[in-house]
A and B are shown apart, each in its own frame.
Chain A
Amino acid sequence: MGIELLGKTNINFIGLRRYAFVLSAILVTVGIIAFVQLVRGQGNLGIDFAGGTAVQLKFEKEVEMDKVRSVLDANGFKDSELQHFTEGNKLLIQLKKSKEASDPKIGDRLVAIFTKEFTGNKFVVDSLTIIGPKVGKNLQHDTLIAVIISAIGMIVYIAWRFEFSFGFAACAATFHDVLSVLGIFFLLGKEVNLLLVTALLTLAGYSLTDTVVVYDRIRENLRLRTKDFLGDVINSSINEVLSRTIVTSLTVFLVLLALFFFGGEVIHDFSFALLIGIVIGTYSSIFVASPIVFEWRKGKKVRIRSKR
């Protein structure tokens, strides 16, 4: 009664690995550039990391963005970044670069200016966030530690459950996913903030789960088919779990779509990051994680230490 999306497949994934490596190399390079730029303070870093002020106003009527821009320019807020959410007439103003961007009084000044200039269009302050530069620096530091610790935790776990080559490859694939999404965000000029980092860490966990499922099957098959070529074993393992991989990615994708379209502006970018992350994560557990294990072990004996 059920449907089968794929049925039995027989795709030579290992044979395709060179193309995959080229694509991945491009994605990862962009990601590394993005990371370096962000560390140097060049990219679009959110105020939670960079320090600054964000004010979100909700207007009664439609906001004329031209007027907003000119009012801000006239009042010495030339550096402000604007984001307009037409649904609900919301306006997000962010101040990052200037020295006074995290002055505790600046939010009130902005509100006062808008109250004066937009008398015909009443508004309420949806949110006001002011973050001092020191808090941002601390958060950058803490985030980096969190990323490193979770990476180590994952390698250790996978290495314990499987073997070091698997642990390394799984970790490489995970970093590949995280860097790819970071790179895409950078190219799109989207903001890198704490929510994005949360999304990336979640993605890391998800992508690893995906990889583990493939590895599990590879390990199982390696034990059963000790005489076959490593490449063949890996290929058929991936083919066997392919429909599972696609189906679970699909279900997660479905809920993320709901979150993306209906979840509101605050988690819009968060769900967007996870959406592309799921696609890349699924790709990498098939085309990156397993081929790395193949490259690592192809010269060695096929037998693998079994542990259950």
Chain B
Amino acid sequence: MWRSIQWRVGLIVALLVISILFIIPTLAGSLPKWWTKFFPSEKINLGLDLRGGMHLLLEVEVQKAVDSALDKYGSDIKDALTKKDIPFEKVERTADAKIGIVLPDSKANDRFNQVRSDQYSNLKVASFREQGGKFLYSLEMNPKEAKSIEESAVRQGLETIRNRVDQFGVAEPVIVPQGEDQILVQLPGIKDPQRAIELIGRTALLEFKLVDDENSLEEALKGNIPPGDEVIYQKVTDKDTGVVTRRPYLIKKRALMTGDVLTDARMRIKSDFNEPYVSIDFDARGARLFDQITAENVKKRLAIVLDNNVYSAPVIQERISGGKAQITGSFTPEEASDLGIVLRAGALPAPVKIIQNVTVGPSLGEDSIRKGIHAAVIGSALVVVFMAVYYGLSGLIADWALVLNIIYLLGAFAAMRATLTLPGIAGIILAIGMAVDSNVLMFERIREELRMGKTPRAAVDAGYDKALFTIIDSHVTTLITAMVLFQFGTGPIKGFAVTLSMGVIINLFSALIGTKVIFDWINTKKQLKTLSI
């Protein structure tokens, strides 16, 4: 008996010491150097609802990535047909994610089929019709390729967003894929949520397009947009009044170059006007392209379009070599610096939509922690007092188990690097309430045995034995719900499930070993005549 008691006390004390070692970093403001060398130094992880921050769920519009791949195929096919002098009436992407092609005669049809089987074998013919001597095709991408485009849109989007967040500077961000087409972004302790959303959610597709000065803008605004053109607006903010107006431009749809040839983009300030702008550097290919474009279009206007907004449309005065350009507009320094970040990090392959945004300010989090601790202290005090009053000295043993329970739970929490959320705190408090359940079960059983006239020693043993299976049964059922909650719950609820299940397991330990050992120890000391229970 004595050996067994020693062994159990050793286990209890060892676990107690380990738990306390893990809790200390959270309680202490700062730790001495020697401590961090040998002992754990990580504080308990707080969830966004307690420390404040932003939780965003983004949906990647993957279909748009497929559409733009189809657009590229479309213009490729056009180029190929033009190059080979094959006449065609129409090549364009249709709304149902296919490429519609109309060929005027059978000769063109034969030659088109040759090109198709040579170069575009990965495009399947979805439907084919001959109508009034014309040949109508509808081509579609094979599903495997479409799938891989969708997947890479999510993957690249994730990388790009991670890049942007890193450059923006947020401590411990979480950026992970979720489901098939979603990205979860968590930014703890963020100060300016709106700015972060702008930064993350922006597609940042930079395009250089020519302004169509040959056709009339007035006509286009009336609805007669020349083929191959589009109307894009520029936001103009009046410096004195702050009024925002939209200025239309008639712009050629075809992008001469895009932002993927950038090597750098940074905010600079024009010294004479003190006006921020973004200076961009092209890579070798970009520099060559830019040189060529500017050389071919001197005296024309080149629009710099970002996410379908014109930023500026300067007249090309002369050929520009050297691989540099600048984006001006009425920027604030923050806007210009953020634009630099998104351009450096690159465009998202497909636009993203914010489908969930949970932002918690720091004051609410502090409030919740304070109140949670408050409630936990009061709740435990009530239980401790109740047990002592109701069960006498045995109640104090149960209280000892309760204290063990709380310390173990917090220690396990810190050791497992689990995240504490507000429902998690509620889970701990609930676990405190339930912790005494096992002891109550045993005590009531012991009381019954005593009533039947057993000696204290026999009553304690019988009580423990008989209550054991009831305790296990009742704990397993709670554990089942906790596991399910963990599996299906999100964020805060997961935190609740974690505390609850750890609470239940630790509960079993502290009740079956923590209290029993004390009864056994008292019994070895002296043969009890009465038991305070």
> Could you list which residues of chain A lie within 8 angstroms of chain B, going by C-beta atoms?
1-5, 56, 58, 88, 104, 107-108, 124-132, 134-135, 139, 142-143, 145-146, 149-150, 153-154, 157-158, 161, 194-195, 198, 201-202, 204-206, 208-210, 212-213, 216-217, 220, 240-241, 243-244, 247-248, 250-259, 261-264, 266-267, 270-271, 274, 308
Contact = CB atoms under 8 A, between A and B. Distances in A.
Contacts of B387: 251
A129 B488 CA distance: 20
A87 to B, nearest CB: 10
Contacts of A132: 59, 353-356
B386 A146 contact: no
Nearest to B371: A264
A75 B357 CA distance: 23
A135 B355 contact: yes
Contacts of B492: 195
A75 to B, nearest CB: 19
B379 A254 contact: yes
A104 B57 CA distance: 11
A125 B356 contact: no
B382 A258 contact: yes
A158 B477 CA distance: 8
A2 to B, nearest CB: 4
B323 interface: no
Q: Which 9 A-B pairs have the closest CB atoms?
A: A1-B392, A255-B379, A258-B379, A132-B355, A255-B433, A205-B481, A264-B371, A252-B433, A146-B488
A198 B496 contact: yes
Contacts of B441: 213, 244, 248
Given A212-B477, A254-B433, 16 more contacts: A4-B447, A131-B356, A132-B353, A143-B488, A146-B485, A161-B473, A202-B485, A209-B477, A244-B444, A251-B433, A255-B380, A255-B382, A256-B429, A262-B374, A263-B375, A263-B426
Interface stretch (B80-88, B314-322, B360-368): B360-368
Contacts of A256: 379, 429-430, 433
A104 B351 CA distance: 15
Contact of A248 (B437, B447, B477): B437
Given A198-B489, A262-B378, A56 B364 contact: yes
Given A88-B367, A244-B440, A2 B355 contact: no
Interface in B378-398: 378-380, 382-383, 386-387, 389-395
A198 B478 contact: no
A240 B447 CA distance: 11
B477 A157 contact: yes
B476 interface: yes
B419 to A, nearest CB: 16
Contact of A153 (B355, B378, B448, B484): B484
A85 B492 CA distance: 22
Contacts of A208: 474, 477-478, 481
B480 interface: yes
B194 A108 contact: yes
B355 A134 contact: yes
Interface string B29-69: 00000000000000000000100000001010000000000
B474 A198 contact: no
A68 B519 CA distance: 62
